[in-house]
Structure 1
Amino acid sequence: MRKEIETETAGSPVTPGELWTNRSCRDLSKIIEELGFVVSPNTIDRLLREELGLGRRQALKDVAIGSAPDRDAQFQRIAELRRHYHMRDWPIISIDTKKKEMLGNFHRQGVCRTSGRVHTFDHDFPSAGEGKVIPYGVYDVRTNAALMTLARGSDTGELVGDSIRMWWNRMGRYRYDGAKQMLILADSGGSNGCRVRLFHEQLWKISEHLGITLRVAHLPSYCSKYNPIDHRLFCHVTRSLKGVVFHSIGAIRNAASRTATSTGLQVKVAILKRIYRRGVQATERFLNGDYIRHDAELPKYNYTTTG
């Protein structure tokens, strides 16, 4: 049995010396039968588990494509900032874009209770749908509450700015009225990337409108999964959306708004009416001004803006 598995591995074993196969028990039963033995698939399944220690496992997505040289230093800096803002009762928000969703009668993973059958298209051709929806999240780290906006068009810095403004108007200002600063945790790429000037301009406008200082701390490159919003909001929203066919943007709103956890997560969902266009650039006034102040230490990831 061991010999057959070693010659039928599903590609290269993850670790030298480990057994790994994608062959079914029925296939292995036929191979052994050709060698002159009769062993049922059920027996092979038991032997694989009990004798060879082979369990059924999926591959884990936990190998980083790369590593930032200042990774540890930036995580230490983020931890310091979070302690500082927490002690002063100032807001700490984590922001990011969730996976885009196609609108239409498309199949989605998950099950639901129904007295009949749910029928969807047999192919996921974008042309058969009504476009895509961009879910953008603003997660309040301190209160375990979030606002998710649903937008059409492109994922841009303007969408980020509108989402943060809406979170403040609907949730933030009631909890943090009188706060002098706000800490924003974001990935290093995407519409809220550390090099996106349109995102920087939106932050400056928000700071000017609210009259508070915004401090931004970006997670190091290749570390987006450590952003609090990913493992404290998006994973739970994904569970709420399983099995739901997105015939309309309202269906996404209704399903996502039901997201809750035993630890008290609260999620509000809003639909943005604006269509966000690709290619919008920061204004000349902002580009020629001095509105973003980068820190002396790790300036790529850390900066502030004051209106």
Structure 2
Amino acid sequence: MWINTATELSGSARRIFMAQVVELIGWGGQRFAESVLGWDRKTIRKEQKEIQSGSPYIDGRRRSGRKKAEAHFPQLLDDIDAVVGHTGQTDPTFKSTRVYIPITAKEVRRRLIDDKGYRSREIIGERSLRTKLNELGYRLKRIKKCLPLKRIEETDAIFDEVHRINQEADEQAGVLRISLDTKAAVKVGRFSRNGQSRTPQAALDHDFDPDTTLTPFGILLPQQAKSYLWFTESKVTADFMVDCIEQMWGKIENRERIHTLVINADNGPENSGRRTQWLKRLIEFSDCHGIHIQLAYYPPYHSKYNPVERLWGILENHWRGELLETVKKTLGLARSMTYKGIRPVVRKVTRTYESGVTLSKQAMLDVEQRLERKSGLEPWFISIQPMADLG
């Protein structure tokens, strides 16, 4: 009966029964159980230790293997929740209980190191962090861009020329390629992103007057993955853009070795191939630094192919779900984002720029004489030589 009963049981229940039988037998019970009943004496002793201590005995199998990160860092899950909890967004359709966060596992890891005092060598990696985020119920949300609205006859030819110029610029020494663009103005205040608040904080609708508005302007160096962001409460004019290029130029390493600057843009109203003030300022920049400038615009309705657009996508996903309540917080979120592991240089421009600056007819003719346009694609590809090279 004892043998059959022990066979039917398993785990802790089996060990308890075996220990009770040994106690019932009394002196010599363990030897009898081992020799007559065929029970393991070590198993019986294990259960006797459990009865004496009042807690389950941790055997070798349970002690072996890799422990979870929570065993080494008991506050890890709480710290992760503190880092991302206030940025979480529920499913906008309310069809699931998932919570979406606008930051990556890599950014969560950086914040744990910077804000919570974890050491880089000790904290778990990105893959494990994604697992912990899933366990906590958080999900990452990706944004799918829309298709171009229109195509013009020159679209394919423009793309071919842009790709050619960019490839040559990336392969040739002494050529620096930059991509620039202006993002839509951002309202500063307790406003929800996209008109809805899916965060634990109370937000206002965009119909209310904002405290102020900030217009971001960015320059990206695609080959180096370096980026520069400027925020202004003024208009982003042609003069503003060239002043930003001047500031960026001052931060470029080994700029004395650069002889050509290739600019990718989207042919907007303030930096188009017909905007004389923009072209005039670029000519002055070319003469001042003695470099050749090549403008290469992307086709209309295809600005999403401009490399700097990827920077805007990261920025929008980075601060989505955050309430941009103050200028300081807006700039701080921009500084904390990363593009390919590199943080941008962020500045706020306080100067007020006058819009609608135009040139006289004679000045416009003088500007046009300094430009070399590609035949058939005149508005999209413009070359500017410095005065020193013209003799």
TM-score, length-scaled by structure 2: 0.57
User: Is 2:267 the partner of 1:195?
Assistant: no
Partner Cα distance (2:198, 2:336) in 1? 16
> Which portions of structure 1, spanning 4 or more consecutive aligned residues, are displaced by more than 3 angstroms?
59-63, 109-112, 282-286
Aligned equivalent of 2:237: 156
Displacement of 1:284 after TM fit? 5.8
Aligned residues: 243
Contact 1:96/1:192 (8 A) holds in 2? no
Aligned equivalent of 1:82: 166
Partner Cα distance (1:175, 1:142) in 2? 15
Contact 2:273/2:382 (8 A) holds in 1? no
Aligned equivalent of 1:228: 307
Aligned equivalent of 1:100: 185
Aligned equivalent of 1:119: 202
Displacement of 1:71 after TM fit? 1.1
Contact 2:272/2:379 (8 A) holds in 1? no
Alignment CA distance shift 1:104-1:73 (3 Å): same
Aligned equivalent of 2:211: 130
Alignment CA distance shift 1:130-1:285 (3 Å): farther
Aligned equivalent of 1:249: 327
Partner Cα distance (2:241, 2:270) in 1? 7
Alignment CA distance shift 1:111-1:147 (3 Å): farther
- What SS class does the counterpart of residue 193 from structure 2 fall into? coil
Alignment CA distance shift 1:258-1:285 (3 Å): farther
Alignment CA distance shift 1:190-1:244 (3 Å): farther
* Percent sequence identity over aligned pairs: 19
RMSD between aligned residues: 2.7
Partner Cα distance (1:102, 1:213) in 2? 38
Alignment CA distance shift 1:111-1:259 (3 Å): farther
Aligned equivalent of 1:51: none
Paired residue type of 2:365: N
Displacement of 1:92 after TM fit? 0.4
* The one of 347, 372, 378 aligned to 1:270: 347
Contact 1:68/1:222 (8 A) holds in 2? no
Contact 2:249/2:255 (8 A) holds in 1? no
- What SS class does the counterpart of residue 159 from structure 2 fall into? helix
Q: Which runs of 5+ in 2 are unaligned?
A: 1-93, 96-142, 387-391
Partner Cα distance (2:158, 2:147) in 1? 20
Superposed CA offset, 1:96-145 (max 9, x none): 00121012232236877xxxx53333x3235x323311100100011011
Aligned equivalent of 2:264: 185
Aligned equivalent of 2:293: 214
* Bigger radius of gyration: 2
- What SS class does the counterpart of residue 276 from structure 1 fall into? coil
Partner Cα distance (1:267, 1:83) in 2? 24
Alignment CA distance shift 1:143-1:60 (3 Å): closer
Could you say which structure has the greater relative contact order, defined with CA pairs below 8 angstroms and 6 or more residues apart? 1
- What SS class does the counterpart of residue 189 from structure 1 fall into? coil
Superposed CA offset, 1:41-92 (max 9, x none): xxxxxxxxxxxxxxxxxx9753432112111111111111122222223100
